[in-house]
Every structure is written in C-alpha cells, then in structure tokens.
Structure 1
C-alpha cells in the first residue's frame, strides 16, 4: 500500500512505498557513498573534526548513550532533518531504546515545537494591541 508523503515546497505531491527510507520519498538526495566521499574530500580536516566531535558528544558521560540518542531523535524531529531522524532512530534502537521510548521522545519534540508557537503568541498579541492602540504596561 503506498504511503502518501506531504506535498513538497514546490507543490508537487510525493508518493512512496512502504519500506523505503524517509529521505528517499522526500525531495532530498540519497546518501550515496560517492556523495559522502566527495563531502569528505572537499574539506577533510573539518569533516574529521566534526566526526570526532560527534563521537565525543554521543559517548557515555553524565548521560548514557541511549538517552543521548533519544534526545537526538527528538531534536531531529524539531529540526526536521530526514537523515538525522533515520540515523538517530536506528542508533537509539541499537543502543537499547524501545519503540515506545522513541515514540515518546518524538511526542516530546512535538509538544516543544507546539509549545514554542503557543509561547510566541504573546508577540502576536502585543502586535495586535499596538495596532489597536492598546497597552498593558
């Protein structure tokens, strides 16, 4: 059964089938070995530094590796990076996170994103007050 992906920014409908990677059904290129190699070749020192930084960030410390991957899953959903969602969901599972924990992390991300919009509504309310000549000070 096909899964319908949301319309892309250019308005075209995107369709995918079950089992395909999330980034394969979005307007993003696949992470081919050639592209990964090219990215590394263009700036090898920076790539190596980033990879070392990433390895350190996700190493066990005050937070265990599973918790760090669950945080990454949530953040990936807020930043809406399909590569990050794919990779960190798999890593969280490999590190022992349950499907339920991963889904709860996603719901935390959803609440935080919605909460941010709600919290910023005071900017809109202040703008409306200013437009209507009202002040709460």
Structure 2
C-alpha cells in the first residue's frame, strides 16, 4: 500500500488491479443474478433461507472491500476517510438495489426488499472490515 502513497508510476498497477477486480466482481454479481437457477443453488440447501442471506452478505462484503480498496488506490487517504467509505457504501447499496430490479426481468427470479437490506449490510461490513484492518496496521507501524 506504500506505493499508492507515493503517487508515482508504481501506483498504477495497484490502481488497475483494484479497479479491475471491483468491476469484475460487479460483473460476477450481475451474471449470477441473471441466472434462472444460479450455479450452486442446491449447495447447503439444509440452511434454507439463511443460505440466501449469507450468499448476499458475502458477495456484497467482497464488493464493499474491493470498492474501498479501489478508492484508496486512487486517493491514499480515501481508505481512512469516512466520507469515502460512505460513498462506497452508498454506491454499493445502489448497485444492490439495481441488481434486485434487474432480477425482476429474469424468469423465475423476483426482487426482494430484504435482499437489498442484506446487500447494503454486506457492503457496510466490507468497508468496516477494511477500516479495521487499516487501523490495526497503523497501530502496528507506530
């Protein structure tokens, strides 16, 4: 992460990596929500309703983490600044809302307000996790 703070050429590989990973993850979410029966939908069926909620939470946790890492790669202080974290949470939550709307056009799928809330919680958890890791790293560097 130190290369990001230098603002030189060395920051570009990390910027491209985090930007590409974030866009790729968003594409994966879109692809999975486009499926009538998503891959692995039979796995862990014994969890029932909880399986769906944990899936949403996990997918959007990764999105929140990648989103904050991406903003931090473009602006070094962004990964620590609350305003940038709130922006990532807002954009990630909006993506969850749009994804649920998108599912209304997929045969056999429907939108769920609860899924939108779980998506937003996942994004917030991802951002909070990265904030916590950054705080621990700063404390260890002192």
Fold shared by both chains (TM-score > 0.5): no
Normalized per residue, the structure richer in strand is 1
Q: Compute the TM-score of the two structures, normalised by the length of structure 2.
A: 0.36
Greater C-alpha radius of gyration: 1
Q: Compute the TM-score of the two structures, normalised by the length of structure 1.
A: 0.37
Structure scoring higher RCO (CA < 8 A, sep ≥ 6) equals: 2
Normalized per residue, the structure richer in helix is 2
